[in-house]
Amino acid sequence: MTTLAAAPRLPMQTKNWQTKLLIDGQWVDPVDGKSFETYNPATGEVIAVVAEGNAKDIDKAVQAARRALESGPWSRLDAADRGRLLFKLADLVEKEKEQLAQLESLNCGKTITDSRGDLEGVINTLRYYAGWADKIEGKTVPVRGSFLSYTLRQPVGVVGQIIPWNFPLLMLAWKWGPALACGNTVVMKPAEQTPLTALRMGELALEAGFPPGVINLVNGFGETAGDALVVHPDVDKIAFTGHVDTAKIIQKRAADTLKRCTFELGGKSPNVIFADADMQQAVDGAFHAIYFHGGQCCTAGSRLFVEESIKDEFVRRLVEKARQRRIGDQLDPATEQGPQVSREQQEKILHYCDLGQKEGARLVLGGKRWGDKGFFVEPTVFDNVADHMTIARDEIFGPVVGILPFKSFDEVVDRANKTYYGLAAAIFTKNIDKAHLFARAVKAGTVWVNCYHVVDTTTPFGGFKMSGQGRENGEAVLEHYTEIKTVTIKLG
Ligand code: ADP
């Protein structure tokens, strides 16, 4: 495993970073003048001090978004022109993608290779929804009697968007793209761990020409700024990505105003390896499933079911591969795994590693902190994990995989589904019947066959059961950002 090298000087370190709140097209100080520090998780060092908004700032942002929605130039813009603005934003992001990728890595700890990949996703998403802007259509409806009925698809209104720290830029694009294509205005609260790249996106949005109040950004904490957005009577919808426990709070807090809510939450995704799979493909797939971005993915393949007859050989190969993992400075292109996002996450993951051993799983690799500074965790493998163990039930959100042996197809489908979650599932097999039968039977919003973590802007993404409500991406998300209105006219 590599050592932690000094972080290279970044191009943006010579610039004045934007740290204020974006409200009504202006960069402003928070009403109460508060701020908070943000860190490089590889070293724990402070890299910026950022304006901290609270309920007063959220109120200002919501009022600005309401004005922009009801009476500003945005409300009169042709749908095609909304698309044009999104295309322009995508072009600006493309021009600056390397700097954005570096800033993303510096603040959230993901490797520069992964951030570069995310930036391609951001650009694709903005362009995909730019293309949708003038293709969101109503219908004419064959009603009884002498009437003409048709439907209009109109924006839901002012949308509060609350995003997490694991894919800060990509989650921003998944939220802004469809919301703006449909004509809504937005107030976004980025995660408190990763406030920086959203601020740069705010600057680029202004440069692209989005009118004042269409996009507002309020950094701050969940219980203050986030909650204020959720309870605000003038916010029509909340789009949230984050922890299931937070979603439960939000659903309750949004009840008084009966807000529309969509949730994209966590998972404990089953990844099932059959003995007839291509062994190398399955090992590589399982490895990517759990260790991509240090396991900090809602779709992480953390329950690894392996057919008993190949299990020992499979574990041997997986562990061998994990031993080779290059850990270190997230900005070094050779690094394969950076730090976890925060000390809190590091401690939580290490706590689960202790629990796994106490509950009787066999620790084969890792289980410890890596290095002596920053928030790193070693790639960790537990063998002989049983369904009832905490590490097989809770979302760990770290580089920790539990291997669960199985004997038969019916048994593994049943066990794969025994979870409150249902975000993703995967199967590795050469048998086409097994693949399709599994895809039908497993309760998950996304199923991968002989691959993992393949998520594209064009395909619906979201969870069954407690992994979410609604879908993001593809055409599917558009229904969550529009209201359908029926217009009926008497004829003759
Ligand atoms: P994690 O545990 O991975 O940090 P969270 O669900 O706590 O996930 O955070 C995701 C986002 O939700 C962040 O932007 C956070 O500030 C926000 N958040 C946390 N608590 C609340 C809350 N009570 N109301 C609204 N937003 C919240």
What is the tens place of the pLDDT at every residue in 277-286?
999 999 999 9
Half-sphere exposure of 32 (CA within 13 A, CB side): 13
Taking Cα atoms as reference points, which of 24, 23, 46 lies closest to residue 35? 46
Ligand 1 contact, 104 CB (< 6 A): no
Residue 6 has a pLDDT of 37
Query: For the residues 65-87, what does the mean pLDDT come to?
Result: 97
CB 301 within 8 A of CB 401: yes
pLDDT at residue 15 is higher than 80: no
Packing angle, helices 432-441 and 409-416, rounded to 10: 30
How many angstroms does the Cα of residue 293 sit away from the middle of ligand 1? 19
Instruction: Quickly state the pLDDT bin for 16 (edges 50, 70, 90).
Output: low
| pLDDT greater than 70 at residue 372 | yes
pLDDT, one tens digit per residue, over 77-107 is 999 999 999 999 999 999 999 999 999 999 9
pLDDT band at 9 (very low <50, low <70, confident <90, very high): very low
Residue 47 CA to ligand 1 center (angstroms) comes to: 22
Max intra-chain CA distance, the chain: 81
Q: Is the CB of 285 inside a 6 Å radius of any atom of ligand 1?
A: no
191 pocket-lining for ligand 1 (C-beta < 6 Å): yes
CA distance 485 to 149: 10
Structure-token pair, residue 266: 């966590």
| pLDDT grade for 5, boundaries at 50, 70 and 90 | very low
Judge if the beta carbon of residue 230 lies within 6 A of ligand 1.
Answer: yes
CA of 172 to the centre of ligand 1 (A): 15
- 43 C-alpha to center of ligand 1: Å? 24
- The residue whose C-alpha atom lies closest to atom 21 belonging to ligand 1 is 222
pLDDT of residue 7: 38
Pairing of strands 147-155, 482-490: antiparallel
Q: Is residue 188 within 8 Å of residue 216, measured between CB atoms?
A: yes
* 8 A C-beta contact, residue 414 and residue 406: no
Calpha distance 238→161 (Å, rounded): 6
The confidence band for 17, taking pLDDT boundaries of 50, 70 and 90, is confident
Q: Residue written as tokens 């217009």? A: 487
- pLDDT-based confidence at residue 126 (cuts at 50, 70, 90): very high
For residue 250, the ligand 1 atom closest to its alpha carbon is 24
Higher-pLDDT residue of 7, 34: 34
Average pLDDT over residues 424-450: 98
| Ligand 1 atom at minimal distance to the Cα of residue 190 | 14
Q: Which of 297, 298, 378, 395 is catalytic?
A: 298
- The backbone region for 146, taken as left when phi is positive above 0, alpha when psi lies in -120 to 50, beta otherwise, is beta
Q: Tell me the best of 161, 246, 340 to mutate to test the pocket of ligand 1, counting ligand atoms within 8 Å of each CB and taking the most.
A: 246
Distance (angstroms) between ligand 1 centre and the Cα of 85 equals 29
Residues contacting 141, CB < 8 A, separation 6+:
149, 150, 151, 486
Mean of the pLDDT values across residues 377-388?
98
* Continuous segment of H or E residues that includes residue 106: helix 97-108
Whether residue 268 has its Cβ less than 6 Å from ligand 1: no
DSSP 374: S
Q: Is 298 a catalytic residue?
A: yes
**Ligand 1: which residue has its CA nearest to atom 15?**
222
pLDDT reading at 216 higher than 60: yes
- Ligand 1 neighbour 251 (Cβ under 6 A): no
Percentage of residues in the chain with pLDDT exceeding 90?
Answer: 96
Cα separation, 270 vs 416, whole angstroms: 6
Q: What is the predicted pLDDT for the residue at 94?
A: 98
The pTM of this model reads 0.96
154 is written with which tokens?
Answer: 């109109």
Mean pLDDT of the chain: 96
- Angle of helix 112-132 versus helix 97-108 axis, rounded to 10: 120
Confidence of residue 225 (pLDDT cuts 50, 70, 90): very high
Check whether 130 has a pLDDT greater than 60: yes
- Average of per-residue pLDDT across 391-404: 98
Determine the Cα–Cα distance for residues 346 and 333; give it in Å rounded to an integer: 23
> Predicted confidence band at 3 (pLDDT cuts at 50, 70, 90)?
very low
Name the residue among 27, 73, 75 with its Cα closest to residue 51. Answer: 27
3-state secondary structure 411-436: HHHHHHCCCCCCCEEEEECCCHHHHH
* Residue 264 known to be catalytic: yes
Q: Which of 96, 264, 307, 472 is catalytic?
A: 264
The whole-number average pLDDT for the span 240-251 is 98
Write down the number of H helices and E strands in the chain: 15, 20
The C-alpha atoms of residue 242 and residue 224 are separated, in whole angstroms, by 16
Q: What CA–CA distance (Å, rounded) separates 142 from 145? A: 9
| Distance from residue 286's CA to the centre of ligand 1 (Å) | 29
